[in-house]
Amino acid sequence: MTDEKQTPEEHEDVSLYQKLADRAAEILRDGRKTLDEALKKAGEEVTAGGEYTRERAEKVSTYLRRDLTGVGKKSQQARDAVINAVEPHRVAAGVQSGLAKLLTTAADVLNELAGKSEQVLEFKTGEVTSPGTLTCKDCGKEMHFKSTVKIPPCPSCHKTLFRKSY
Ligand SMILES: [Zn+2]
């Protein structure tokens, strides 16, 4: 149940999440695209090589967008958590992060969208998300993650719906 091992497919989703975020950040850094356009273009690029299917890229892109949405209205701490998840090498090197710009843009673009629907911020087992704390909606058990992860079932009651905080 609480098996820590990841299947190849799960690992692939986490890698894809990081690739999409990294690429979207680079596209945004050029300054000619909106967040939506950058995410779309990043998705097209990662599927172009045939390594990932379009369906998978779109699904994982949804997870990334949700994390950005959640972070958009949250604190610097939340931003740092996401930045560290996606670009740990840049954080370690102290390099100006493209993702920092992505998150700043996301904050502006997605604030109203985030306020619109709590459902956007409901997290389910099997989805990929950035570091943070997931709280089981059923039993209140908390899981703390320090890296990007594919969400497991609740270790306590085995349910699959969570709230997220940072
Ligand atoms: Zn639970």
Q: What pLDDT is recorded for position 74?
A: 56
- How many A from CA of 141 to the centre of ligand 1? 5
Residue 160 CA, ligand 1 centroid: distance in Å: 8
Measuring CA to CA, which residue among 3, 10, 41, 8 is closest to residue 148? 10
- Provide DSSP, 129-160: E-SEEEEETTT--EEEESS-EEPPPPTTT---
Q: Ligand 1 centroid to 83 CA: how many Å?
A: 28
Tell me the pLDDT tens digit for each residue of 38-91.
888 999 999 998 889 999 999 999 888 877 766 655 556 666 666 666 666 666
Mean local confidence (pLDDT), 78-106 = 64
- Number of helical (H) and strand (E) elements in the chain, helices listed first: 6, 6
Radius of gyration of the chain (CA): 15
How far is Cα 98 from Cα 123, in angstroms, rounded to an integer?
Answer: 26
> Is a pLDDT exceeding 80 seen at residue 163?
yes
Q: What is the pLDDT of residue 24?
A: 82
Buried b (16+ CB within 10 A) or exposed e, 31-44: eebebeebbbebbe
Global pTM value: 0.69
Protein residues placing their CB within 5 Å of the ion ligand 1: 136, 138-139, 141, 154, 156-157, 159
Sign of the Cα torsion 47, 53, 57, 58 reads positive
Structural domain spans, the chain: 8-118
Q: Could you tell me the distance, in angstroms and rounded to a whole number, from the CA of residue 162 to the centre of ligand 1?
A: 9
What pLDDT digit, counting tens, does each position of 122-160 carry?
899 999 988 888 999 999 999 998 888 899 999 999 999
Across residues 106-132, what is the average pLDDT?
A: 67
Distance 6 CA to ligand 1 centre (A): 21
153 alpha carbon – ligand 1 mean position (Å) = 8
CA distance 19 to 38: 13
